[in-house]
Structure 1
Amino acid sequence: MTGTATEIDPAALPDASVFQRVVADPCRPVILRGAVRHWSLTRVAADGNAALAAYLGRFDAGREVEAFVGDPAIAGRYHYSDDLAGFNFTRQTLPLNQAIRRIMETADQSLYVGSLPMSVFLPGLAEDNPLPFAPAVSPRLWIGHASIVGCHYDMSDNIACVVAGRRRFTLYPPDAIGDLYVGPIDHTMAGQPVALAADAEPDDPRYPRFAQARERAITIDLEAGDALYLPKLWWHRVEATGKLNLLVNYWWDAFPAGPDQPFAAMLLALTAIAGRPEPERAAWRAWFDHYVFRPDGHPLAHLPTDRHGVLGEGRENIGMLRAHAMRLLRGG
């Protein structure tokens, strides 16, 4: 039994503030059918490779990009080598227009280019293809042959817009992490670790708990013109099945709470807590729950708000907490 995702009509999202309240605040995936069907980029892509290449060429800043290139035998499945020491593809640097031409002129290879900020590589393209409810960030472009991107998470919220080809997203909630058998966090294909079990053969004996994650999976099929909102930390495996696939995405933090990244805080917690004995870890878990995760509300709710000190609202309190933490890290 698999889960489902909510669908919301993009016409009900006139601006970013409504999107934040209706789509982002619940922190659940949302399908947005036809969200970018009106784009010039989507319409031109439907007219064929020549029209698409000419359109993108109008905005090409002439910069070089890094392409993932694999042997045709990998069939677009970019992954580790069998021993996890390396990868089954290489990285090549070439001008963007050459990369696009190679993708368009070959259909039996494995090549893709991704995460290109439009403001840098294709200035003006975003302005020519506006999305009224999108955050004020530079969207990124991804283009390539058919591909399978290993199951991973992002540390940013994401609006993924399919422009050409088809995309199948297989999603797992953040709390499935223990059943996904995640690979190393410091030896990755593109920055984030991948869930090894999600790309293994069904019922692989190395990953017995994956059956529990598979029961909770959400499968979403998107056509050209459709979009998906994906909250940060949701695991996603992405299959692009067209001969040529083009996606535009927006990455941003929908819930900024200060200047520090949560993942950095987790890394510090690893160095400070993970190696301690289980009873002490349990004690620290109680403190983290009380002060950070707050299942019972604010830890000083029993006091007047003007007695909350550095745990009160306001950026000045964040600054004082950071300064105190920095002194402790320096041994002060």
Structure 2
Amino acid sequence: MAPCQPVLLRGVCRDWPVSRQAAAGWASLSTYLSRMDAGRTGEAFVGAPAIAGRYDYGQDLEGFNFQRESLPVGLALQRIDAAAADPSLDSVYLGSLPADDYFPAFAAENPVGFLPPTARPRLWLGNASRVACHYDAFDNLACVVAGRRRFTLYPPDAIGDLYVGPIDHTMAGQPVALAAGAAPDDPRYPRFAAAKARALVVELAPGDGLYLPKLWWHQVEALEPRNLLVNYWWDGFAAGPDAPYAAMMLAMITLAERPEAERKAWRAFFDHYVFRPDGHPLAHLPEDKRGALGSLAGEAYGRIRAFVMRTLRGG
């Protein structure tokens, strides 16, 4: 995790009970999931056959090319199966179902021993589909249970070449890379060629997993008529409850439209105090003299957070 690089984990979930049921066929998998189904409904993406499972924005970013329906899990499994058998039916994609809420016995029966206890499973069920290229603000382990998945990855620093869409008008919470889902050589996205040249493409078979560090862009294609993926999100290096994304959003409203020279001055301060390319900013002082810039594992976290909260309240 520390190098912030993806890692392919072949066979990591091959011996799960759910994987063995999936290998026996969709009927066996559905029976297995139905046994532990808590009876809740989830929000499904439902797409007409014309979109071929490519859930995306509508024309000119107006709306979306799919509908959202609230479906019980059992009915969603039936509709996924029916659409797989009959291409004239709408495709169905039911994603990010917290297993603890929807399938309470799932985590205990299908454990991942090397993840922290806070990393809890989520299930993603559907027909063949393409999920738009996006990033997650958490570390991610994605495990393929049924069907095959193709991941196309771009490093975080490719962001400027991906032509990212709105941050507050999204399909599922995260902004997406518009260029990655466009037709090849789309003239609207001339810089995308540089990102495409750096792309990593990997195909996962049932039983395989992929570790994705936070902020890596990924387009995910489910390649079979019936698919199940299980993923886990967690923050491997959190010093407390506050998220880096919140800090970035606050920085945008406080810094983004200041004059260029002032932004450059603040960048120097951010580099010195936050990103620390030259090491700790108070390395020239003994540790017991660093005050609020002491170790975040000690009192420094609480002291800085209290200062931030007072500032936001106008105190």
* TM-score, length basis structure 1: 0.91
1:69 aligns with 2:50: no
TM-superposition CA deviations, 1:137-190 (whole Å, max 9, x none): 320000000000000000110110000100000000000000100000000000
The AA in structure 1 aligned to 2:239 is A
5+ residue gaps in structure 2? Answer: none
Q: State the one-letter code of the partner of 1:102.
A: R
- Does residue 260 of structure 1 match 2:242? yes
Whether 1:276 aligns to 2:253 is no
The one-letter amino acid paired with 2:59 is D
Instruction: Out of 312-321 and 121-130, give the one that drifted further.
Output: 312-321
Q: What residue identity is the alignment partner of 1:327?
A: R
User: Of the candidates 11, 19, 42, which is equivalent to residue 42 of structure 1?
Assistant: 19
Q: Offset of 1:51 from its aligned partner? A: 1.1
Q: 1:319 aligns with which of 290, 302, 305?
A: 302
Q: Indicate yes or no: 2:104 matched with 1:106.
A: no
- For each residue in 1:199-242, what CA deviation from the matched residue of structure 2 results, as whole angstroms up to 9, or x when unmatched? 11111111111111011100011000000000000000001011
Q: Determine the structure 2 residue equivalent to 1:134.
A: 115
Query: TM-score when scaled to structure 2?
Result: 0.96
Which residue, 51, 55, 59 being the options, matches 2:32? 55
Residue type matched to 1:188 in 2?
T
Alignment partners' CA distance in 2, 1:78 and 1:315:
46
Count of residue correspondences: 309
Q: Check conservation: 1:74, 1:110, Cα contact below 8 A.
A: no
Deviation for aligned residue 1:34:
0.7
Q: How does 1:301-316 map to 2 (within 5 A)?
A: 301-313=283-295, 314-316=297-299
Query: In structure 2, what is the equivalent of residue 119 of structure 1?
Result: 100
Worse overlay, 167-176 or 320-329: 320-329
Kept after mapping to 2: 8 A contact 1:64/1:95: yes
Deviation at 1:258, TM superposition (A): 2.0
Q: Is the 8 A contact 2:292 2:303 kept in 1?
A: yes
Give secondary structure in 2 for the equivalent of 1:272: helix
Letter in 1 for 2:93: Y
Q: Report the 3-state secondary structure (helix = DSSP H, G, I; strand = E; otherwise coil) of the residue aligned with 1:78.
A: coil
Deviation of 1:286 after TM superposition, in Å, equals 0.3
Amino acid at match of 2:299: E
| Helix, strand or coil at the partner of 1:291 | helix
Would you say 1:185 and 2:167 are equivalent positions? Answer: yes
Check whether the contact 2:83–2:91 (CA below 8 A) recurs between aligned residues. Answer: no
Q: Select between 55-64 and 102-111 the one with higher mean Cα deviation.
A: 102-111
Question: 1:206-285 alignment to 2 at 5 Å?
Answer: 206-285=188-267
Distance of 2:9 and 2:247 partners within structure 1: 33
> 1:128, CA displacement in angstroms?
1.0
Distance (whole Å) between structure 2 residues aligned to residue 259 and residue 36 of structure 1: 30
Give the Cα separation in 2 of the matches to 1:239 and 1:218: 14
Equivalent position SS for 1:103? helix
Whole-angstrom CA distance in 1 between matches of 2:81 and 2:298 = 50
Distance between the aligned counterparts of 2:113 and 2:240, measured in 1? 26
Secondary structure class of the residue paired with 1:237: strand
Give 1:18's aligned residue.
none
RMSD: 0.9
Q: Secondary structure at the match of 1:65?
A: strand
In structure 1, what is the equivalent of residue 70 of structure 2? Answer: 93
1:129 Cα offset (Å): 1.2
